[in-house]
Structure 1
């Protein structure tokens, strides 16, 4: 995840043919664990959520009405404790951001910080990302979908729990605008290879990497360097970015 490694981003692992199959299988790419809530996190959930929180019950989103304007729209799945997403929203006030995360402390922290900074271009789901994308986002509505440092599930027997699977990236493709991008980053080389393999076989995408760096791209300046990533760099850990654009 973005700021600290938490169990997993908010999404079911996509595996075989359809999202209905996924729901029935019940295979999730995250594990919910109880955690202590700070006062600020509790305040975020109790006081700020009614203004910035979104739920599945709201149904299909009218994004222009939600934000009161027409703007570029970025969705981030699994924002952890939210520092990176807060930085992006503050740095790019002309862009609207929607974060999806299942873990209460991270959601509460993000909401508290967004309120303290007076951010109006940020909304949050505390739901499973597959359901959010399937039920709440219209087709062709997202400019960029970000998936930064998802749980790699390193054991081979757990690879089916990885969020990046064919059905999942096809769902994302249908929600992206033509030309919109899916931006992934991971610090596990095996997972990066898995991502590249899934995307190479996915119809309707093109890799934005150059021949010199393919299938990966250098870390874009617009992706904030998180504390988690900076610590990894100091330890000599690699990070791999992949950016694929919807071509059709």
Structure 2
């Protein structure tokens, strides 16, 4: 969920669905359809049947979805999907689940997945909080990834940031004991916010030897956006917290 693709806006962000106990009232994203390319539309029309999972109020059997039992990685907000597809291609022994609300990104991801002939990737086009609450079984994930979420950099919008105590505890229940929540952001203030929330979160242990941030692990691809930022002197902060209870 690259910060390039987000346009913070206070309009149309209230969540009125209160059927699940920890669905947030305020959304962390603005849904902008954007214009689909012919390639993205073609991918949605032709490849969703193989890679897509329709949202419904029913727990999934991930072993049935992937026709095997394997380590599971879920990424929230995969943007255009290049990094997610690269990770799935590099780790065929793992299964990957991507969640994205922006349709052009979903189409682009489906196209990339088809090109690489992946068999270990499934995607949702839906709100990640609702997918986690309604469809992902307890203690079924080995890793949850949240890379470059919308930073909502204005102070009055900080409440819209997805990394909040309630969200972290909802996510915790989906991780196996020993599972890892991996975050990355190029906004230092948001990195500090993430660190503060996670330090206070019950049931997690920081994997940083220095008690704050970790070096980018090799399995997280370096994006073009990130490379551009590094050339301009911008920082990127990775946080990795393990579920211990």
Which range, TM-score by smaller chain?
over 0.9
Matches within 5 A, 1:139-150: 139-150=138-149
CA distance in 1, matches of 2:65, 2:20: 26
Q: Are the equivalent residues in 2 in contact too, given 1:101–1:128 (CA < 8 A)?
A: yes
Match of 1:222 in 2: 219
Distance 1:58 1:122, change over 3 A: farther
- 1:150-165 to structure 2, matched below 5 A, reads 150-165=149-164
Post-superposition offset of 1:34: 3.0
- Give runs of aligned pairs for residues 1-248 of structure 1, distance below 5 A: 1-2=1-2, 5-7=4-6, 20=21, 22-23=23-24, 25=25, 27-57=26-56, 59-211=58-210, 214-248=211-245
8 Å CA contact retained: 2:73, 2:143: yes
Q: Encode CA deviations 1:57-93: one digit per residue, 9 max, x unaligned.
A: 2621111111111111000000000110010011111
Does structure 2 retain, via aligned residues, the 8 Å contact 1:179–1:247? yes
**Structure 2 CA distance for partners of 1:220 and 1:115, relative to 1, 3 Å:** same
Give yes or no for contact 1:177–1:246 (8 Å, CA) kept in 2: yes
**CA shift for structure 1 position 222:** 1.0
**Contact kept? 1:184, 1:243, Cα under 8 Å:** yes
In structure 2, how many angstroms separate the alpha carbons of the residues matched to 1:34 and 1:131? 19
Measured against aligned partners, the alpha-carbon deviations of 1:179-221 in whole angstroms (never above 9, x if no partner) come to 000000000000000000000110000000003xx21001111
TM-score between the two structures when normalised by the length of structure 1: 0.91
Aligned residues of 2:165 and 2:201 also touching (Cα < 8 A): yes
Q: Runs of 4 or more off by more than 4 Å in structure 1? A: none
d(CA) in 2 for partners of 1:242, 1:153: 18
**Residue pair 1:41, 1:112 contacting (<8 A) in 2 also:** yes
Contact 2:22 2:170 in 1 (8 A): no
> 1:156, 1:108 → 2: CA distance?
33
Higher relative contact order (CA 8 A, sep 6+): 1
TM-score (norm 2): 0.92
In the alignment, structure 2 segments of 5+ residues that lack a partner are 8-12
C-alpha displacement of 1:233: 0.4
Deviations 1:113-138 (A, max 9, x none): 11121101000000000000000010
> Where does residue 10 of structure 2 map in the other structure?
none
Report SS of the residue matched to 1:183.
strand
